Structure 1
Amino acid sequence: MALASILKPEAVKVFSAVSSKKRLFQEIGDLAQSAYGLDAQTTVDALLERESLGPTGVGHGVALPHARMPGLDGVVGTFVMLEKPIDFGSVDRQPVDIAFSLFAPEEAGVEHLKALALVSRTLRNASLCAKLRANPDPATLYTLLTESHTLAA
């Protein structure tokens, strides 16, 4: 599995003013709707429901919100960069400025976990995260994300 197979270029966005986790989820819902045709409100509700089980902030300014969604054929993702980090309730208490969201079919088992592991491994790379933070252009971010996996594979 490659990041390019779950992330479309049009599902990458930079936001200058997101003030809260809920607002971020609303932006992700809108992005998932425009990139993949997912219902924005259903997406937000699914993310909030998953987040209620425990925060998906994994540390070092990175969050991996994810949810299972009806009507999907495979795992898809969105990548969001925030110009101003927000509190996310992360394990290390650091504010989040990178959020890679994954959406999987309701019946997805291993595929969802493999995608989550791939994204987690990719964003654990400190030098990649530094490059992402230094390049606030969505096309550049997409290239960095998809090429980084190719190099690491």
Structure 2
Amino acid sequence: MVKNENQSVLKIFLQLRWWITFCIFKYTLENKTGNKGEQQLDMLVKKETIFDNIVAVSGTKKEAIRTISRLCAKQTLLDATQLEKAFWKREEWDSTGCGEGIAIPHAIIKEIDEVQLFIVRFRYPIEWESFDDKKVDIAFVIIAPEEKGQEKYLVFLSRLARKLVDEKFVADFRNCRSTEAVYQYVKNELE
């Protein structure tokens, strides 16, 4: 009985945390852009940046971030070590494991001009230091430019945060059985 109550309290806490995060992003965005930030975010979703059935060899967060960095480096032509350091810089501030088996590792990189989204689905869940102590099997990875593109970054992060508190979105996403299905589903949901 106590365990169920604790799980309910934790779930409410996580949803409240995401709602507060969303409100902060929305407030920041409206004050920064005059609410002009609604862009075609579905354009961030690309088939070549969706990675399915990925194995982080040691099964640790460290190895998962290293693997994510390498995957992103291949697509962006950035240095994998630089990406890994940028992800860890953000991770040191607070874990990007947001509960329900999902993480949103993100990094700010000087050398890019546009926000980029990568979706990584791990074959074996990773211990990520999430608030609910659940292992992560899905990572929505965001790389954003240092200056240009911050509006799009904030819009995307707030929209993604909204989606991730939606149990139906998460359940439907988990039911996608192929890279093509993930691509179509996320693209449609972010329109």
Question: TM-score when scaled to structure 2?
Answer: 0.72
More strand by share: 1
Gap runs ≥5 in structure 2: 1-38
CA contact (8 A) 1:77 1:102 kept: yes
**Aligned pairs for 1:1-153 within 5 A:** 1-18=39-56, 19-108=59-148, 109-150=150-191
Gap runs ≥5 in structure 1: none
Same amino acid, percent of matched pairs: 29
- Select between 28-37 and 106-115 the one with higher mean Cα deviation: 106-115
Instruction: Quote the offset at 1:10 in angstroms.
Output: 0.5
Root mean square deviation, CA, Å:
1.7
Give me the whole-angstrom Cα distance separating, in 1, the residues matched to 2:71 and 2:177. 17
Larger radius of gyration between Structure 1 and Structure 2: 2
CA contact (8 A) 1:65 1:100 kept: yes
Q: Note the alpha carbon deviations across 1:46-97, whole angstroms, 9 max, x for none.
A: 0011101110111111111111002111111110112221111112211111
CA contact (8 A) 1:32 1:40 kept: yes
What secondary structure sits across from 1:107 in the alignment? coil
Instruction: Quote the offset at 1:16 in angstroms.
Output: 4.5
Give me the whole-angstrom Cα distance separating, in 2, the residues matched to 1:136 and 1:28. 20
Counterpart AA for 2:105: P
